[in-house]
Amino acid sequence: MDYNEVLERARERLAPHCLVCKECNGIACRGKVPGVGAKGTGNSFIRNYEYLSNVKVEMDTIYEYKGQDTSIELFGHTFKAPIFAAPIGGMRFNYDDRISELDYITAVVTGTVMAGCAAFTGDGADDICFLAPLEPIKSVNGLAVPTLKPWKNDKVFEKIKMAEEVGAMAVAMDIDSAGLIHLAKSGKPVFSKTVEELKEIAAYTKLPFIIKGIMSAKVAEKAALTGAYGIVVSNHGGRVLDNTPATCEVLPEIKQAVGDRVKVFVDGGIRTGADVFKALALGADAVLIGRPYAVAAFGGGAEGVRLYTEKLMYELKETMIMTGCADLGDITFDKVRIIK
């Protein structure tokens, strides 16, 4: 199987929910939530994609060749590249049950590990969204990050315990799900969190704790006070609020605010290895990628996910060669140019 076959198969399996567009830019699926799109006008997703395409890469091929090392250490593990699959949950809700929660998450968790990377996993109104990933996570010796919804803290602690029991390397919380009304409607309300509540969670577990859904320097400052290991600059792929800025637009000011106090991840509109490069140049330590991983899993299972991850790594290396970068530390702000 090659990656083009993965896309073809995904197109057959996903239509009309996801058209597997040549450019996964949020236009064809605008407003489709439930589904794979973004909320309202779909603007937040579209801006993530468009902003990143206005970040251009500066060429430099006059330098001493030292090869390209894309590896990174995070959560006490070494990964081949700073690339993670983003949490995607709710196969029934978003994909009309075309694949079971377990089959989906097994493909993503095992496929990313096969390529030397790892996945974040999701959560939702249906308990299966959080429970299904636990066995696959155990089977890869914990190399994944369960991501919890912002439930009341007693429920959060119960779920963290389950993640610890299967040996997960870290846990995350998508605090930007606080406004998901459908969770409350189905009797599973979620809430905004205070700095104190987040501190309690970070202190409750020995696992690194990551706060997902930060979109400004001011909020990043608050997150950095909680003892969290990292933050994810994310607008949830545009699914929780219409008309936000692009994630890579706010990334440099967030990195400037938090410095090295927390690891900085980013997601939203990242599609290629060149996009990974751009996100790193703008201040991220590593990236998460959402919808394209769903396409890879639907089109080729774990093998599709492995192929997509390897394609990203290849493209990242290629971009590093063309910009004189020997390792990730060389990917600095001056390696890109933002056009209007």
Binding site for ligand FMN (CB under 6 A): 36, 48, 86-90, 94, 122-124, 147, 174, 212, 234, 236-237, 239, 267-270, 289-291
How many Cα atoms are found within 13 Å in the side-chain-facing hemisphere of 183? 21
| Amino acid letter for position 66 | K
What is the C-alpha to C-alpha distance for residues 236 and 221, in angstroms, rounded to an integer?
Answer: 19
Comparing CB distances to ligand FMN, the nearer of 69 and 126 is 126
Comparing CB distances to ligand FMN, the nearer of 213 and 300 is 213
Comparing CB distances to ligand FMN, the nearer of 283 and 290 is 290
Question: Minimum CB separation from ligand FMN for residue 294, in Å?
Answer: 7
Phi, psi of 338, rounded to the nearest 5 degrees: -100, 120
CB neighbour class for 222 (10 Å; exposed up to 12, middle 13-18, buried from 19): middle
What is the C-alpha to C-alpha distance for residues 242 and 68, in angstroms, rounded to an integer?
Answer: 39
Question: Minimum CB separation from ligand FMN for residue 95, in Å?
Answer: 7
Question: Minimum CB separation from ligand FMN for residue 119, in Å?
Answer: 10
**Residue nearest to ligand FMN as judged by C-beta position:** 290
Question: Minimum CB separation from ligand FMN for residue 56, in Å?
Answer: 20
Comparing CB distances to ligand FMN, the nearer of 151 and 325 is 151
Comparing CB distances to ligand FMN, the nearer of 99 and 307 is 99
Best CA proximity match to 294, nearest among 271, 265, 275, 310? 271
Question: Minimum CB separation from ligand FMN for residue 319, in Å?
Answer: 18
Look at the chain and count its residues: 340
Comparing CB distances to ligand FMN, the nearer of 122 and 300 is 122
Strands 77-79 and 72-74: antiparallel
Question: Minimum CB separation from ligand FMN for residue 293, in Å?
Answer: 8
Helices (H), the chain: 3-14, 43-53, 91-95, 101-114, 128-131, 134-139, 153-165, 181-185, 195-204, 217-224, 247-258, 273-281, 291-323
